[in-house]
Chain A
Amino acid sequence: MNIAVCVSHVPDTATKIKISGDNKSIEKAGVTFIINPYDEFAVEESLKWKESAGGDSKITVFSAGSDLNKETIKKALAMGADEGVLIKTENDLDSIGIAKVLSEELKSHNFDIIFCGKQSVDFDDSAVPQMIAEMLGYSCATVVVDLKLEGNKITAEREIEGGREIIELEMPAVIGAQKGLNEPRYASLKGIMAAKKKTIADKPAASYENRTEIVKMNTPPEKQPGRILGTDASTVAELVRLLREEAKVI
């Protein structure tokens, strides 16, 4: 089986975000970047699919961005993916741009299945998996927490408000992984050593002009700390009164 995984390189979720001097982006200095947490579920799923398909199955990892993204590609290689491709972009792209440069590269490989995280925890668009599918003419399911393959048919369970949708889709497909799909493995020392010998090809990105433009970026206004009403259950009546009369929310 010919398998792809797309990964993105994002600020650690513990990062406190500061706005940079241009007021249009975040300050990257001093920020630790990691593999997008949802992409770890995508990588793990690709490894499981490769293991069950066997034969000469192969996993190629793609990332669009700068040389720094190689660190995240290496993380996927250390978990067990076979080779990497960095699509080098000149500037930050919007989600359609990311999907476009990835698709232009993905289309020549004829992948059977492409795994992505359901969203990147930077711009949180939750859009790239669907866009890749649309651009390549693949079927797609995102926010997937359970996945089965029978013949050429995939059954996916997707998390929505109040429950799960069961989706049937045909191969080739793009899957957007949600937390809960699997338990991502840790890269073993052997995996980390093996990753050093795996190749990461550099490819130039297809040209694309962003369709949206960031005018300004702010941090949200600091919320004023409220009142600590007390330290025991005798405060409860006052709390309920405030919620009812002042906040009017209950």
Chain B
Amino acid sequence: MPNKIVAVLEQREGKLKRFAFEAVSVAFKLADELKLEKEAVVVGNEIENINEIGSYGISKITHLKSDKLTNYSSTGYAEVIADYVNETGADFLLLSNTALGKDLAPYLAVKTDSGLIVDVVNINTSSGELIVTRPVYAGKALADIKFKTPKKVLTIRPNIFKASPLNGGTPEVTVKEVSPSNLKSIVTSFKKSEGKLDVAEADIIVSGGRGLKGPENFHLIEKLAEVLGAAVGASRAVVDAGWRPHREQVGQTGKTVSPSLYIACGISGAIQHLAGMSSAKYIVAINKDKDAPIFNIADYGIAGDIFEILPALTEEVKRIKS
């Protein structure tokens, strides 16, 4: 059994990401159930909201600080975190399965001789042993997996576990100056995508498929997304046809998403698409063909013409929101 769990938290541009608090809450719960010491580490230069971690149940926080790590560097991050972990004898690292967490966790697993399990959606300690569940084959199957090594690295899927604030908790932040020697791979800048929310981070997604008939009709999707504060998604068919950028693709060769609400418009529901979005909490399907497979997994459906329904839906949402 491990003796210390460390939540490795993600910050960007000096601010902790909201998924960081999910990781803290999960680490807090695991520490309680498995009787572990617990702490959190954050890597970066200046971090403005580091004190907020305290209200999620972990008070011991170490800020591994270096002006060389203002931007993400896989090699630099891996080096300073592995050094810290090896010095302090932690043997269980927990990260979010975000772009950064996914990138970083494998380096940490190799550096610390740990087992690695990623994209975990359920954690069970009821047998006294840690057994975690993760989707495989893009969610077409679920695997229950356990570690065989004493040292563990685990990433949790964003939006699945709740970040639960607790009462009290005074954070004790220790700033530890570090100087990474390996910056062979480093981020030099960031190009923000035009527009809006990313499907991977959104709580609501409005997705369009072939039923839109052409890229010029995607404004109908964009308008509905705008009034809902949602991200725009797309099926593989329309990405491969060049109507939409790949970053919007939901499904097996695109992104796997778990929003609260997924609205599929003119998407028939190929198995690759369903794999990427069927874990959404609520699914709405709007499609002309009432026999389309998307209706088999939708909570609510309208079997009608998207060109008629989308503008009406946008208006109705606008009306109730005003």
| Residues of chain A having any CB pair with chain B under 8 Å | 11, 13-17, 19, 26, 37-38, 94-96, 99, 121-128, 130-131, 133-135, 139-143, 145, 157-170, 173, 178-180, 209-220, 223, 225-233, 235-237, 239-240, 242-244, 247, 249-250
Contacts and interface: CB of A to CB of B under 8 A. Distances in A.
Contacts of A244: 320
Scoring A17, A95, A170, A243 by chain B CB atoms within 10 A of each residue's CB, the highest score goes to: A243
A185 B37 CA distance: 53
Interface stretch (B57-65, B140-148, B167-175): B140-148
Contacts of B136: 122-124, 217
A131 to B, nearest CB: 5
Interface string B277-313: 0110111100000100001111111111100110011
B181 interface: no
B272 interface: yes
Contacts of A130: 74, 103, 106-107
A203 to B, nearest CB: 22
A96 B198 contact: no
A193 B74 CA distance: 42
A230 B106 contact: no
Contact of B190 (A121, A145, A163): A163
Contacts of A226: 283, 295, 298-301
Contact of A227 (B100, B189, B301, B312): B301
Contacts of A163: 190-193
B271 A16 contact: yes
Interface residues of B, number: 91
Contacts of A16: 140, 271
B160 to A, nearest CB: 14
B47 interface: no
A220 B301 contact: no
B102 interface: yes
Per DSSP, are chain B's interface residues mostly helix, strand or loop, or mixed? mixed
Per DSSP, are chain A's interface residues mostly helix, strand or loop, or mixed? mixed
Contacts of B39: none
B59 to A, nearest CB: 29
A76 B266 CA distance: 35
A217 B143 contact: yes
Contact of A165 (B72, B107, B198): B72
B9 interface: no
Nearest to A95: B116
A51 B135 CA distance: 39
B3 interface: no
Contact of B281 (A121, A218, A220, A249): A249
Contact of A160 (B99, B249, B252): B99
Scoring A124, A163, A232 by chain B CB atoms within 10 A of each residue's CB, the highest score goes to: A124
B139 interface: yes
27 contacts: A14-B271, A17-B140, A124-B136, A130-B74, A143-B99, A161-B201, A162-B198, A165-B187, A166-B187, A166-B190, A168-B188, A179-B246, A179-B254, A211-B147, A212-B149, A219-B140, A220-B139, A226-B283, A226-B298, A226-B300, A226-B301, A230-B302, A231-B302, A233-B313, A240-B320, A242-B300, A247-B281
A214 B184 contact: no
